[in-house]
Amino acid sequence: MKLFNITFLAVVLLASCGKNKTEDLPPEKVPVKVDKVQVESKLDLLVDGAELGKWSYDYDAALKLAKETNTHTFVLFTASDWCPPCKVLINKVFEKDEWTEFAKEKLVLAYLDFPMDESLAPAKYRERNEALKSTWNVKNFPGFLILDKNGKKVKKFHLTQGEVKDLNAASFIKKVEGLLSKKKPKIKPVELKVFDFKQARVESVSTDAMKTGAKPGVWTEDIEAAK
């Protein structure tokens, strides 16, 4: 009986330890299982304000900074607690120094989170995030939006789980650089010409008119003959 009690107590303690190990972690550190790989998010997220190369929940501050610094805003639409490809992408790309150095020079980063557990994202941005998702018609996660310094759309795209699996920091940076360097085709101005009906009638008359003589129903320049 004593042995049973000790064994039972040991099992309970082990179970409790295993449970607390995850529960004691901050929400953003809780691992998500993706293809038998444990992936944790280590992004340092700003709740208010924005800085070049740093992720921020503050979309409006990101737009403002992009305008002030003449850079682009790079918006990530993610779901931190239920989107495995989002977790993998953050781990393989956005947590890498290579991406951070690239973003410092060219991007203001906005992080829009749509978790099932609403406590994982700032409550004050919840309605705004939903409105932005609707405005930009974002239907897939992870989704991306690149805006110019004036907040105008440069490109919107998303990645599938297969595409995320094959990505690394270098290949994603190359993709973004290509989108940033694309220029909108210049529209050649159309030259408008005013049709001169009066001149056209004169030309038509002078072309078809008889020089001399006159016939019924036929224009003539010979006024005397027409009499």
> What was the pLDDT predicted at 110?
98
The model's pLDDT over 62-86, given as tens digits with 9 standing for 90+, comes to 999 999 999 999 999 999 999 999 9
Which own/partner pairs from 37-44 qualify as long-range (CB within 8 Å, at least 24 positions apart)? Answer: 37/88, 39/84, 39/87, 39/88, 39/90, 39/91, 40/91, 41/80, 41/87, 41/90, 41/91, 41/95, 42/95, 43/90, 43/94, 43/95, 43/111
Which residue has tokens 């008359």? 205
> What was the pLDDT predicted at 90?
94
Judge whether residue 16 has pLDDT over 70: no
Lowest pLDDT segment from 81-85, 113-117, 182-186? 182-186
Which residue has tokens 């992870």? 142
| Count of CB atoms situated within 10 Å of the CB of 195 | 6
Taking the C-alpha atoms of residue 168 and residue 166, their distance in angstroms, rounded to an integer, is 7
Judge whether residue 140 has pLDDT over 90: yes
The model's pLDDT over 24-33, given as tens digits with 9 standing for 90+, comes to 444 433 443 3
When pLDDT is averaged across residues 151-161 and rounded to a whole number, the result is 94
Report pTM.
0.64
Average pLDDT, the chain: 78
Q: Look at strands 72-78 and 107-113 and give their pairing.
A: parallel
Judge whether residue 171 has pLDDT over 60: yes
| Reported confidence tier of residue 44, pLDDT bands at 50, 70, 90 | confident
Which range is most confident: 8-22, 149-163, 191-205?
Answer: 149-163
> What was the pLDDT predicted at 15?
39
Taking the C-alpha atoms of residue 5 and residue 70, their distance in angstroms, rounded to an integer, is 69
Q: What CATH class has 20-181?
A: alpha beta
Taking the C-alpha atoms of residue 15 and residue 6, their distance in angstroms, rounded to an integer, is 14
Q: Where in the chain is the domain with CATH 3.40.30.10?
A: 20-181
